[in-house]
Every structure is written in structure tokens, then in C-alpha cells.
């Protein structure tokens, strides 16, 4: 049969240098090589399966997406990414309330984008994020963060921050301190804020900074900050 021969040829011709392992090795975390970038998409897995899948990928991973991480897992464990290098991480649909301080250590050092969406985070996981010098995009949409504390994002160079749909009731005075120079886009829609405290976005000490020009798009609750 031609198609069997074709399949056999395909197997034989599997390039020895392929960075993705053969699909049967990780059926719930398929890996794709697309345009020179590696994409790993895990579905309905536990944390050790994600680690096991990453360990089989040879080369840096451009994007790791995890859908439906085991619902009973409350804390993302230390070394979640193992030694794998991951540039963009998305975990959606989980029971995560917090992240171990070392959960993104190691392979996460090159993370540029982190999305922890549709989980149960009760605060900004600042300790885990603190070790990510390249992080520019943070998405915490649809969690259970009620309070933004002062210096929650300090030390990060975020350009884009999404806090939509958390039920945020309180924004501390210096909640966004440290982001004055970098933040361009902030989405705080669908929270419990009757009035967004714009002073929280202003530089803590504005004497040496140019004031960011604030543009509000009240219709959808998205606010954009532009440096002028």
C-alpha cells in the first residue's frame, strides 16, 4: 500500500536533529516546529508531565501552553520548567492560588511573556516573577486578586499588564511603582474599582521623570499609558 510505504518513509526520514520528539512520546503535550520555533501545547496534564515533556525537547521552546493543569494543584511547584528554556508561558484553566518562588527559575530566566489566566491566584506572584529580567508581558486575567499591594511589580520591565476580571477592590498607592518607564498598556477592566486611582500609576517620585501622559479608554476599561 502506497500510504504505508509513505508512512514508513516518513518515519525513516525523521531528521535526527529534530528538536521535537516523535509525537507518541508525549501524546498530551504535542510539540511543533513552526518556522524555526518550537511550540509545546499540553492539555489536561499534571505538573510532572509538563516537566517530562519539556525534558524531551531539544532546544529552546518559543511557546509553552498548558490548558487544564491538574485542578487540585494549588501551588506551582519549584522547578516547574525544569532545565527547559521557555520564552512564552501560558497556563490557563487551573486551580493555582500561588507560585512557588522557584517555580519559574532555571529555564524561565529567558521568559518574555507570562500568562496565568483563569486560575485562582489571590495575589500577584511577585517572588516568582522577580527572577525574570526579560519579562515584558504579564497577563493575570480572570484570577481572584482583590488587592494590589505597593511594589507588586517592582523590578520588572513590563510593557503590557493585564489584570482584567479579578475583582480588584483596592490599589495601593505605589502598586505600579517601578513601571513608570516601561508600561504602555494596562487593562484593569471588570474589577470592583469604582474609581481607578491614577496616582498609583504616577511615578513615586516624579521629580526626575517625565510624567507619563495618561490616555483613558473608559468604554472598555482599558487604559493606556504613553510616555511623552
112, exposed or middle or buried, with CB in 10 Å at 0-12, 13-18, 19+? middle
Q: Are 132 and 114 in contact (CB under 8 A)?
A: yes
CB of 114 to ligand NAG, least distance (A): 20
Report, in Å, the least distance between residue 38 CB and ligand NAG.
17
Q: Which stretch binds ligand NAG (CB under 6 A): 14-22, 33-41, 42-50, 149-157?
A: 42-50
Among 6, 14, 74, 83, binds ligand NAG (CB under 6 A): 83
Q: Least distance from C-beta 79 to ligand NAG, angstroms?
A: 7
- Which of 41, 49, 101, 149 touches ligand NAG (CB under 6 A)? 49
CA-closest candidate to residue 128, choices 147, 163, 153: 153
Q: Report the Cα–Cα distance between both ends of the chain, in Å, rounded.
A: 67
Q: In degrees, to the nearest 5, what angle opens at C-alpha 21 toward C-alphas 20 and 27? A: 110
Q: Is 37 in the site for ligand NAG (CB under 6 A)?
A: no
Say whether residue 82 binds ligand NAG (CB under 6 A): yes
Measured CA to CA, the distance from residue 100 to residue 104 in angstroms comes to 8
The verdict on 46 binding ligand NAG (CB under 6 A) reads yes
Nearer to ligand NAG, 74 or 209 (CB): 74
Provide the 3-class DSSP secondary structure of residue 45: strand
Stretch that binds ligand NAG, among 45-53, 59-67, 133-141, 163-171 (CB under 6 A): 45-53
**Of the candidate residues 44, 48, 134, 170, the single one contacting ligand NAG (CB under 6 A):** 48
Strands (E), 70-192: 75-76, 86-92, 98-99, 113-117, 137-139, 147-148, 160-162, 170-171, 185-187
Residues that bind ligand NAG (CB under 6 A): 46, 48-49, 55, 82-83
Amino acid at each position: 500500500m502506497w500510504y504505508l510505504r509513505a508512512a514508513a518513509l516518513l518515519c525513516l526520514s525523521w531528521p535526527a536533529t529534530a528538536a521535537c520528539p516523535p509525537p507518541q512520546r508525549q501524546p498530551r503535550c504535542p510539540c511543533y516546529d513552526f518556522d524555526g520555533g518550537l511550540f509545546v501545547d499540553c492539555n489536561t496534564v499534571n505538573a510532572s508531565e509538563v516537566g517530562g515533556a519539556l525534558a524531551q525537547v531539544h532546544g529552546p521552546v518559543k511557546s509553552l501552553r498548558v490548558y487544564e493543569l491538574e485542578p487540585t494543584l494549588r501551588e506551582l511547584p519549584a522547578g516547574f520548567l525544569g532545565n527547559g528554556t521557555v520564552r512564552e508561558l501560558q497556563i490557563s484553566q487551573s486551580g493555582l492560588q500561588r507560585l512557588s518562588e522557584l517555580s519559574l527559575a532555571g529555564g524561565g530566566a529567558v521568559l518574555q511573556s507570562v500568562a496565568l489566566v483563569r486560575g485562582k491566584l489571590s495575589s500577584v506572584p511577585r517572588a516568582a516573577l522577580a527572577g525574570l529580567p526579560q519579562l515584558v508581558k504579564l497577563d493575570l486575567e480572570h484570577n481572584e486578586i482583590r488587592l494590589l499591594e505597593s511594589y507588586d511589580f517592582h523590578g520588572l520591565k513590563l510593557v503590557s499588564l493585564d489584570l482584567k476580571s479579578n475583582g480588584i477592590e483596592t490599589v495601593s498607592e505605589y502598586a505600579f511603582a517601578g513601571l513608570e518607564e516601561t508600561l504602555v498598556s494596562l487593562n484593569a477592566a471588570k474589577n470592583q474599582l469604582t474609581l481607578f486611582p491614577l496616582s498609583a500609576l504616577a511615578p513615586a517620585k516624579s521629580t526626575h521623570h517625565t510624567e507619563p501622559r495618561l490616555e483613558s479608554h473608559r468604554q472598555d476599561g482599558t487604559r493606556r499609558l504613553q510616555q511623552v
